[in-house]
Amino acid sequence: MKRNVLIIGAGGVAHVVAHKCAQNNARLGNIHIASRTLAKCQAIIDSIRDKGAMQRPGTLQAHALDAMDVEATKFLIRATRSQIVINVGSPFLNMSVLAACIDTGAAYLDTAIHEDPAKVCETPPWYANYEWKRRDACKKAGVTAVLGVGFDPGVVNAYGRYAADHCFDRIDSIDIIDINAGSHGRYFATNFDPEINFREFTSTVWSWENNAWKASKMFEHSKEWDMPVTGKVTTYLTGHDELHSMSKNLGVPDIRFWMSFGEHYINVFTVLKNLGLLSEKPVRTARGQEVVPLEVVKAVLPDPASLAPDYTGKTCIGDLVKGVRNGQPREVLLYNVCDHKVCYEEVGSQAISYTAGVPAVAAAHERGDIALPWRRGRDGDAWEVQVSEHLVRRSTGRMALADLCNITVARHGDDEATVAFVLDDAGVVEARVRRSRADEIGRPVCSGACGAAVRYELVSMRIASEQRGRVLTASGVA
């Protein structure tokens, strides 16, 4: 089981991630938070302690780190013995942190697509420009990298996969709808990093229509949706991370992303943009000082984390999926509603950060249990793999795997393999598994694990001995 978490970043989402890791530290182990600003990391730790959020006593430590420095990041991963890295810092850091994980063997998770600071709205698909180029390196190193595992991207990807697998015979369109019907009471603020927020909207809006990328302008297309709890809200067609993985993995001809904006936000945004204050390109002041306008705007706006105490109202984010089931047209809405005030009471955060941070910790929870890559064993012939205890249950006095979506590996193996693993309460359990005919995964739910994967299903299982421990091995795999 992978344990010990290093959290990169100390913003609003990192705040949530740290709190939720603390609430689950019995399984996740030691928690380390790293950012360029040590004081921000310490403030998160103080918040966790003030709320008594630790599930049990354990390590909770802050570190100063420039995560653009790959060697420094590798050193910290090794020094803290972190086996899971949750990168919720700036998207500019993704490739550096991923490189450090590949070199150290730590599992990598993030909640947003990588961005080059010098480029805005690059040619799609965005993942192909950076992260997907590291698939072979991840596979060779035996490193699991789960990309975009927040809410959107992340949970909305899972909604799309669930709809495809369980609700439809054919999907014709997916509209991802992100509604924030809350109010923070400030004149103007962004709900997450202003620099990243504005970069999404200052250039081309990419949507996936008729199996091709379509370019639009921001605020060019609007639509009113009547969503649960939040009611009727006007949204605008916007480019977003998940489109770039879902368009590749789901085989759906039309996938669009809609986000709600109030008139006041649009007016202020438009003025800032027209004045050139949202530009990522440096300018020189009359005093000869070089500044980036967008960074100046970020510096004067409220810190998104500071909005939480006064935030009221709810969010609603979901997928409206249309298609055909049993020859009949069908429409399904899969969604989540989150309350700003309730989030603040639990972890001291607003709902935007909460919905992005919780799925990342859920994924880390699973990364410590399941779907970790095969690793070559000490004898050079066997392979090691982690298998979750909760996939095994007692049934009429014998052991049985729960369901058939059981053992996922990140390498192709033989059609059949023997998997021996140890449960604390059952000794050594030996299972014979075979490659599932129903699955050629290679299209992970959250644009996820590197490389193609194969799902195995149970053939037989027996208790091989009464030994104890947590060493999990698999043999007979090429």
The string of pLDDT tens digits covering residues 157-174 is: 999 999 999 999 999 999
Q: What does the pLDDT average to over 28-33?
A: 96
Q: What does the pLDDT average to over 148-156?
A: 93
The CA-atom distances, in angstroms, between 209 and each of 45, 192, 242, 254 are 45, 28, 14, 4
Q: How far is CA 263 from the centre of its chain?
A: 30
Q: Which residues pair with 85 in a beta bridge?
A: 6, 108
Q: Which residues pair with 109 in a beta bridge?
A: 86, 146
Mean pLDDT, all residues of the chain: 80
What is the pLDDT, as a whole number, of residue 376?
31
216-227 burial code (b ≥16 CB/10 A, e <16): bebeeeeeebeb
At residue 433 the predicted structure's pLDDT band, cuts being 50, 70 and 90, is low
At residue 426 the predicted structure's pLDDT band, cuts being 50, 70 and 90, is very low
Domains of the chain and CATH, by start: 5-149+363-367 (3.40.50.720), 155-346 (3.30.360.10), 375-475 (no CATH)
Taking Cα atoms as reference points, which of 392, 397, 376 lies closest to residue 431? 392
Contact 136, 176 (CB under 8 A): no
Q: State the Cα–Cα distance between residues 337 and 315, nearest whole angstrom.
A: 6
What is the pLDDT, as a whole number, of residue 474?
31
- Is the pLDDT at 430 greater than 70, yes or no? no
What is the pLDDT, as a whole number, of residue 277?
93
- Is the pLDDT at 446 greater than 70, yes or no? no
Contact 184, 315 (CB under 8 A): no
- Is the pLDDT at 203 greater than 70, yes or no? yes
Give the rounded percent of residues in the chain with a pLDDT score beyond 70.
Answer: 76
Q: Residue 125, preceding bond cis, omega within 30 degrees?
A: yes
Q: What does the pLDDT average to over 453-472?
A: 39
Q: What does the pLDDT average to over 382-394?
A: 30
- Is the pLDDT at 71 greater than 90, yes or no? yes
Q: Indicate the range of 78-87, 244-253, 263-272, 386-395 predicted with least confidence.
A: 386-395
* Residue whose tokens read 């009611």: 231
Contact 362, 5 (CB under 8 A): no
Taking Cα atoms as reference points, which of 1, 56, 52, 60 lies closest to residue 30? 60
Residue type at 130? Y
What is the pLDDT, as a whole number, of residue 122?
81
What is the pLDDT, as a whole number, of residue 407?
35
Q: State the Cα–Cα distance between residues 307 and 305, nearest whole angstrom.
A: 5
What is the pLDDT, as a whole number, of residue 329?
96
Q: What does the pLDDT average to over 325-334?
A: 95
Tell me the pLDDT tens digit for each residue of 105-144. Answer: 999 999 999 988 878 778 888 888 889 999 999 999 999 9
| Residue 140, number of CB atoms within 10 A of its CB | 11
- Is the pLDDT at 102 greater than 90, yes or no? yes
Higher pLDDT: 378 or 306? It is: 306
